[in-house]
Amino acid sequence: MKILITGGCGFIGSNFIRHILRTYPDYRIVNLDALTYAGNPENLKDVQGNPRYAFVRGKIEDSALLRDLMQGVACVVHFAAESHVDRSIVDAQPFLMTNVLGTHSLLEAARNASIGKFVHISTDEVYGALGEEGKFTEKTPLMPNSPYAASKASGDLLVRAYHETFGFPAIIVRPSNNYGPYQYPEKLISLMITNLVDNKPVPVYGEGKNVRDWLFVEDNCRAIDIILHKGKVGEAYNVGGNSERRNSEIVKKVLALMGKDETSITFVKDRPGHDYRYALDATKIERQLGWSPSVDVEAGLKKTVDWYRNNEWWWRPLKERLSSESSGFWTKR
């Protein structure tokens, strides 16, 4: 089977490509990526030269390119997105271009090519924020609170509309907060580990009380694999890690793993519209498709810390690029 993957040089996309090539010896992958700041060819250095893998540099807004790439494709897995909330607060336009207009171009090309299945990777952030109790289900109304989340919710609604209007074979996947190898070092866990390696402080928003459901990236890749092969067209699936933790608790666990104490923490001004809590009810995928997370947050954090410690060659050039940027919340934390 031939799969077109968009955004495959990003964090989750590159892990998914590696998972598919390892799991299905007869599958072929075409990876379309624009290589914006977080799209890194080094994420897939170990699969370059694999005869079952092909990379194409280009934008999902390029309709002519998409038309050519759809030839012979059985399925599309759509990871391509601008994904950092802080950057969307500084400038929302790239998020609208990729996450909304780009998704529309991809839907049109896939529909015209009559592909067999379209898996759209979304986020739990489309649901908005929770209080102290309850969890998001697939029936929870979308109430995004950041420009990033709004752009992803818009993409979700386009995908849903294409299914309802055209009978388009689409499925939506909404994972919780992913972490693990190859995550760009601007997100909480990857930023924290790489800062601590250099004995730099760890910035934590507000008082660190925000709650997230943490999902190891390899568990998410397994879930997307199962949804691709067994998921029901027209449905959405939450993929949760069953690992709700306050940000401050995650920080303390990483500090302990790296032999540091809480003097490494620097609390910084909270970002605008910072959602208090996310938590996903993943009962649907667990009962219908038989998936559940296999890596708890303690084991996942250890795996992640070990990977970053052993792969400075990968993240250090990215940190240097981040430090050279002169604007944005990520350089002011």
Q: Give domain limits for the chain.
A: 2-179+215-239
Question: What local confidence, expressed as pLDDT, does residue 325 receive?
Answer: 64
Residues 117, 231: Cα–Cα separation, whole Å: 10
Q: Is the pTM of this model over 0.85?
A: yes
Q: For residue 164, which amino acid is it?
A: E
124 is catalytic: yes
Residues 2, 152: Cα–Cα separation, whole Å: 26
156 is catalytic: no
Residues 186, 319: Cα–Cα separation, whole Å: 8
With residue 197 as reference, give the H or E element that holds it.
helix 188-197
* Encoded tokens for 128: 């908005």
| Share of the chain residues as helix, strand and coil, in percent rounded to the nearest 5 | 45, 20, 40
Q: Where are the beta strands (DSSP E) in the chain?
A: 2-6, 28-33, 53-57, 75-78, 117-121, 170-175, 177-179, 202-205, 211-216, 236-239, 244-246, 265-268
- Cβ pair 70, 41 in contact under 8 A: no
- The distance from CA 137 to its chain's CA centroid, rounded to whole angstroms, is 19
- Which candidate in 33, 82, 86, 124 is catalytic? 124
- Cβ pair 110, 70 in contact under 8 A: yes
- Cα atoms in the 13 Å half-sphere on the side-chain side of 299: 10
* Encoded tokens for 274: 């910072």
User: Each residue's pLDDT tens digit in the chain (333 positions)?
Assistant: 999 999 999 999 999 999 999 999 999 999 999 998 888 999 999 999 999 999 999 999 999 999 999 999 999 999 999 877 888 989 999 899 999 999 999 999 999 999 999 999 999 999 999 988 899 999 999 999 999 999 999 999 999 999 999 999 999 999 999 999 999 998 899 999 999 999 999 998 888 888 999 999 999 999 999 999 999 999 999 999 988 999 999 999 999 999 999 898 888 887 787 888 989 999 999 999 999 999 999 999 999 999 999 999 999 999 988 877 643 444 333
Task: For residue 35, count CB atoms less than 10 angstroms from its CB and return exposed for 0-12, middle for 13-18, buried for 19 or more.
Answer: middle
- Cβ pair 319, 185 in contact under 8 A: yes
Q: How does 179-215 read in b/e, with b if 16+ C-beta sit within 10 Å?
A: bbbbbbbbbbbbbbbbbbbeeeebbbbeebebbbbbb
- The pairing of strands 244-246 and 211-216 is antiparallel
Instruction: Identify how many contiguous H helices and E strands the chain contains and give both numbers.
Output: 12, 12
125 is catalytic: yes
**What secondary structure letter does DSSP report for 280?**
B
- Which candidate in 53, 127, 148, 278 is catalytic? 148
- The pairing of strands 28-33 and 2-6 is parallel
Comparing CA positions, the residue from 197, 199, 179 lying closest to residue 189 is: 179
- Which candidate in 82, 125, 186, 213 is catalytic? 125
Which residue's entry shows tokens 């005869």?
Answer: 51
Fold of 2-179+215-239: Rossmann fold (3.40.50)
Question: What local confidence, expressed as pLDDT, does residue 333 receive?
Answer: 33
Q: For residue 44, which amino acid is it?
A: L
